[in-house]
Structure 1
């Protein structure tokens, strides 16, 4: 029996019918050469045995009274793989449009609290001789970086490797606990976190036009309405070498370019909707502090707030404003060690979580306007039982007051964008894909003049 951490528990507390707290991933594969008609069915049927399901996929929630009724993870001895692993087939011609529509519906439904908090959906009939695997896990169970490591563990760089288990059956090492923290370590971590909070407050107070951003320093936009439980998912891949070339020329990072593309796309989208505010939009950007050898389950991330400079028309000026804002946030984080960051996060995240607990989100000024997250992925070409991985599209969370989430991950030479939105509050969300390309083209044009 393992207790959930404070951040993990918060995802359970704020969840409701209109705000499911799970994340997901859509893995797109081509069939391996020579695969027969029953190959896909046989590959996943081989993973049916519930006794082979690995931690943390074999854990469910318990609320023991002897432990003050707080949530804990316990092993589910009655796990039913046929409930958790489901099969779907797209109608012909199996376009990505139909696949995204199916995944939108699957991502809209909550996970059952009486069972392990995950589902997997095998999707057949995708055009160009492909299939997909959509996996969703509750955010209390695992964060984005942890999920990426789990998915990477079930894949191989060897196209000839066979008899590979599914993600939920892949064994993984669980490092030994290093024991309880000493009082001296706790005091040092708390002191470091307090120092970080003071530097954060100082940077916000002394910031220029596009410096350190803080919660509630945001305009109220159409993206910050109340949401329904219905979701719209769209996705697209971009060439990573193309983006790296622009980043190098403009003296920026890939993450800077991702934020600039997002800012440019949102500017165009809001102009089309007649809803661009005079103030810049603020993005909340999760930052992982998970150690390389840490357990994959649970949450090990903090958050930064950065301007998207959506009021600036010139793409290069917008990029520089974003870089300045992110630079201020990075300096605060560099002043703290890994032990202080979780305490700092609990303090900084309070304005985000509290409105949800009080059911005020979407009724007051938003803490931020949109989430833009960049989760590093594998750098090499990967396969599952000889099936080449063609795309890995992330799906994150929409909340009351934040009706749009943009999450990006890299796979080999591709940067895969996954956009999840409330279907009602963000109409025609698919147009953001075109606007992201237009924003990148603008940055390429700016780079060509340097």
Structure 2
């Protein structure tokens, strides 16, 4: 059965270019204690040879794959689904360390997806020096957002090492939707069919008053020097807003939740505020090392998940806000205070809005993005100030340890997309008692991306010394 794409989902297809590919990914590491990584890889291969179908949305492909600018995109079922095409085996060269793994993931993430098939791929990687099995998955953002991808992928794992072997993620049927009252026109989690499109339009009209109040506050803030709210075209020009090439760099960091919580409790702020301050400190140090730090603070666009609790996902449903990263402050305390001030102001903007109003408000906040992207693509990124310098996302993951075929999952790293005018993306994903950071950068623009990852670790140390260490 055909399924219409929502305008937001279709936007990621319109933004697809050879240099700016709109797929997101995840890197999972599994500690193999039953057999070896090679044996497990071969077992997966044998299972795949018996598979000939997939469940939605993993069996959906575009009805018009050669016309990505189609104003009326539809998903249709791939009746010739080939599991062996989508799931592939790979191996690391010796010595099989983190460097070799980073290089392989960078190259795999630099390749476009084939829209003639369901737009996703999964790689089973062996040869890591630890003996662990690595799984790298990528999926186009038009098919699922990060929240949905994580939720669906994690259903392939068991909660106990002795639990039954779960089916692969693409074989698990979608969770049944909860019954909603017909009159609930604000439910943007409904399928993107014609009826839900009309409901969404109605929801936007009903939210006009909320949107007007928010935009009025933004307009007034431009004339108030000390207003903490960040508005459009307020970010500094920087190396983070130039044209990108097609090749990527990838780096990771993993931190214990307890460290970030201790700072948040001591500073009386949220964990997300601490994450932004960690990134701000890391970016300040990294950009100073390459003589590219702007005098004015960098601004981050922070996506916000606005789904109802326990929503089963599907499509894209995110709002967003602009936040200062405090990179103009030379100490950790001032940096965190700048972050908290701007995020608190942004949250007050949205706290009484409906979900439809938040999406419309986000559209306004990000409206200069297309201009920013277009100018950067033409090499004219300095014509107007950017609205933000970097996207920093926090994707909620599983809170309990998970197992695959009796082997424990040790880490989950997100791998996001880049676009012209934004050659850096930082996404973190929670898993158990850890927070896992994935740094994706343009290979041509940002040299030695691993230095940024290490600088963020040093930034976390500085915050601990300022707020936790006696």
TM-score > 0.5 by shorter chain: yes
Q: Distance in 1 between matches of 2:204 and 2:233?
A: 30
Q: Structure 1 189/295 Cα, relative in aligned 2: closer, same or farther at 3 Å?
A: farther
Q: Structure 1 48/356 Cα, relative in aligned 2: closer, same or farther at 3 Å?
A: farther
Q: 1:393 aligns with which of 413, 424, 444?
A: 413
Give the C-alpha shift of residue 52 in structure 1.
Answer: 3.7
SS in 1 for 2:76: strand
Q: Deviations over 1:357-409 (max 9, x none)?
A: 67757523323111111111111111112121111000111111111111101
SS in 1 for 2:279: helix
Q: Deviations over 1:87-113 (max 9, x none)?
A: 101122211111111000000011112
1:159 aligns with 2:176: no
Q: Distance in 2 between matches of 1:361 and 1:170?
A: 44
1:13 aligns with 2:11: no
1:311 aligns with 2:328: yes
Q: Structure 1 82/34 Cα, relative in aligned 2: closer, same or farther at 3 Å?
A: closer
SS in 1 for 2:219: helix
Q: Structure 1 83/51 Cα, relative in aligned 2: closer, same or farther at 3 Å?
A: closer
Give the C-alpha shift of residue 291 in structure 1.
Answer: 2.1
Q: Distance in 1 between matches of 2:72 and 2:149?
A: 24
Q: Structure 1 256/186 Cα, relative in aligned 2: closer, same or farther at 3 Å?
A: closer
Equivalent residues of 1:7, 1:346 under 8 A apart: no
Equivalent residues of 1:264, 1:310 under 8 A apart: yes
Greater shift in the superposed pair: 13-22 or 90-99: 90-99
Structure-2 residue corresponding to 1:374: 394
Q: Structure 1 433/8 Cα, relative in aligned 2: closer, same or farther at 3 Å?
A: same
Structure-1 residue corresponding to 2:319: 302
SS in 2 for 1:126: coil
Equivalent residues of 1:361, 1:400 under 8 A apart: no
Q: 1:76 aligns with which of 75, 78, 82?
A: 78
1:350 aligns with 2:367: yes
Q: 1:224 aligns with which of 241, 258, 271?
A: 241
Equivalent residues of 1:13, 1:357 under 8 A apart: no
Count residues with an aligned counterpart: 447
Superposition TM-score, scaled by structure 2 size: 0.89
Equivalent residues of 1:256, 1:322 under 8 A apart: yes
Structure-2 residue corresponding to 1:131: 133
Give the C-alpha shift of residue 43 in structure 1.
Answer: 3.0
Superposition TM-score, scaled by structure 1 size: 0.93
Give the C-alpha shift of residue 17 in structure 1.
Answer: 0.5
Q: Distance in 1 between matches of 2:91 and 2:121?
A: 16
Unaligned stretches of 5+ in structure 2? 183-194
Equivalent residues of 2:22, 2:141 under 8 A apart: yes
Structure-2 residue corresponding to 1:383: 403
Structure-1 residue corresponding to 2:4: 3
Moved over 6 A (4+): none
Equivalent residues of 1:152, 1:378 under 8 A apart: yes
Give the C-alpha shift of residue 81 in structure 1.
Answer: 1.5
Equivalent residues of 2:158, 2:164 under 8 A apart: no
SS in 2 for 1:430: helix
Q: Deviations over 1:122-171 (max 9, x none)?
A: 10111222011111011111111111111222222111123212222222
Aligned-residue Cα RMSD (Å) equals 2.3
Greater shift in the superposed pair: 265-274 or 181-190: 181-190
Greater shift in the superposed pair: 304-313 or 335-344: 335-344
Structure-1 residue corresponding to 2:214: 196
